[in-house]
Amino acid sequence: MQNKPCWITYPSRARRASVSFRPRRRAIIATPVERTLSGAVVVGIAQVVEAVLLAALGYFIFETLVAIGEAEFYVPVIPAACLLANVLFNAARTHRIVAYRTLFNQLGRVLVGWTLVMTVLAVGIFFFKAADLFSRLWLLSWFVGGAVLLVAYRLVLRAIVMRWTAAGRLRRRTVIVGGGKDAEVLIDQIRASANNDIRLLGLFDDRVDARSPDSVAGSPKLGKVADLIESARRTPIDLVIVSMPLSAEKRVLEMLTQLWVLPVDIRLSAHMSKLRFTDRAYSYVGDIAVSDMADRPISDWNLVFKWVFDKVVALTALILLSPVMVATAIAIKLESRGPVFFMQNRHGFNNELIKVYKFRSMRTDMLDASAAKLVTKGDPRVTKVGKIIRKSSIDELPQLFNVLKGELSIVGPRPHALRAKADNKLYYEAVEGYFCPPPRQAGDDRLGAGQWLARGNRHDRQDHAAGEPRPLLYRALVNPVRPLHRAANSRVARLQE
């Protein structure tokens, strides 16, 4: 047999395995995904609506049926009773997505809680000798009417939640890191206790031997951990459950080192550990105890508040600064030919490519869309108007439109141009984990236009030279105090000498 030339190389077994799983990953990525709903937000809104309905019913009965008593006695009692009802309903665990899906269990606990509220209210009226101030007809009517209202409301809420569950709106898109028998046990537990809350996409495992088959309990293997990072960039993944024993410390650390760049919740399943802690030491996915390894930067109500904050601030700023923006647009048009705005591709949240808007500050025949060359003092590419708007950061004002579109945030780390450099190195080469979102950072679900206050002057000058975005609030607050900051640094340096 003729020997093969030494320069012919063959892909490794791991490489062949990764390629063989690619069609499965592509199929998942190509599947349209409807936006999921946060369970915490749904529960919060459900509680508010329920309390408002009960209070409205109480006030309505007072206005229409009650002929005795003064309004000032009813006004504080009704909201206090609604608050007590909410506390009891939560104590009975009726305000949970899992509880909303039940029928008789949910209704029974709610009615018992409402009965206790009315009992406490009646006993309080008796002991405080306030019977002359409150109507028995009002109390009885609110009790009966409230019970009917709660039953009707919970039936409607159950129908809505069941419809969202069937549509997958309340199911977290989940993958498992690991394989073999241990992963099979975990999958069986998920299907038994959390099938309505978890949509299992598949498994990722670096092992390519018999210990990690191509399919585990009907769930397909989709590749290695590195493939998971690529997949999470292209399709939404909410939760990663690691099926590894704590004894495999090296494997767990290696896996976390790769996954920490992703904006997902990472949980380590405790089903393989013989060492058990108290229930409060764990969080739970269904009935499965897990340890929290990492959380997404922002989620649930924090995401709602941040969204509202961004939209309100951006819209207000656009209204207040519109005269400046109109004057800038006119000045750019009068000085040089070309468009008023300059659009630049940048990497946003989760490495997503977005177009950032800026006022054009360079000549159209010398534009540098990728910021491959730093802008220097006296750069011939910059127009006269461009020098003014760059120095005052007016060129960044159009980024408020990106905020309204949800691509940028008022507060948070800022995206750089694709070819921007620091010390002649691209940012993702100079900074480890450059594309990873900061944990627990007050940012949006897009990478923000904000900038950390604690930046060195040297790096700030480099960023300014590269023509990078300035967060408007940052510039307005920091520019006036920058000379004081530099003077303080100089004084400290002299004292150290």
pLDDT digit string, tens, across residues 390-406: 888 888 899 899 889 88
For residue 465, pLDDT beyond 60: no
pLDDT: which is higher, 164 or 374? 164
pLDDT of residue 88: 95
Tokens coding 189: 């537990």
pLDDT of residue 369: 62
Is this prediction's pTM over 0.75? no
The maximal CA–CA distance of the chain, rounded, in angstroms, is 109
Highest mean pLDDT among 29-38, 118-127, 349-358: 118-127
Average of pLDDT values for 13-41? 73
Mean pLDDT over the full length of the chain: 76
Lowest mean per-residue pLDDT among 222-236, 378-392, 472-486: 472-486
pLDDT at 51 over 60: yes
- Tell me the range of 153-167, 340-354, 474-488 where mean pLDDT is highest: 153-167
Write down the pLDDT at residue 413: 65
d(CA 474, CA 468): 13
Domain ranges of the chain: 39-166, 171-296, 301-496
Position 351 confidence tier, pLDDT thresholds 50, 70, 90: low
Of residues 364 and 447, the one with the higher pLDDT is 364
187-217 pLDDT, tens digit each = 888 888 887 888 889 899 888 777 778 888 8
Binned at pLDDT 50, 70 and 90, residue 451 comes out as: very low
Q: 69: pLDDT confidence band, cut at 50, 70 and 90?
A: low
pLDDT at 371: 62
pLDDT for 444 equals 34
Give the CATH class of 171-296: alpha beta
Residues linked to residue 294 through DSSP beta bridges, in sequence order:
266
Burial of 313 (0-12, 13-18, 19+ CB in 10 A): middle
Residue 103's pLDDT is what?
Answer: 93
Q: How confident is the model at residue 37 (pLDDT cuts 50, 70, 90)?
A: confident
pLDDT of residue 72 exceeding 80 = no
pLDDT at 475: 45
**One-letter identity of residue 240:** V
Question: Shortest CA distance to 270 belongs to which of 250, 254, 287?
Answer: 287
Report which of 301, 298, 97 is spatially closest to residue 195, judged by C-alpha positions: 97
pLDDT tens-digit map of 299-311: 788 888 888 999 9
The stretch 432-458 carries a mean pLDDT of 36
For 449, phi then psi, to 5°, come to -95, 5
% of the chain surpassing 70 pLDDT: 72
What pLDDT does residue 438 have? 42
pLDDT in tens, 230-271: 888 888 888 998 887 766 777 778 778 888 778 888 888 887
Better-scored residue on pLDDT, 424 or 470: 424
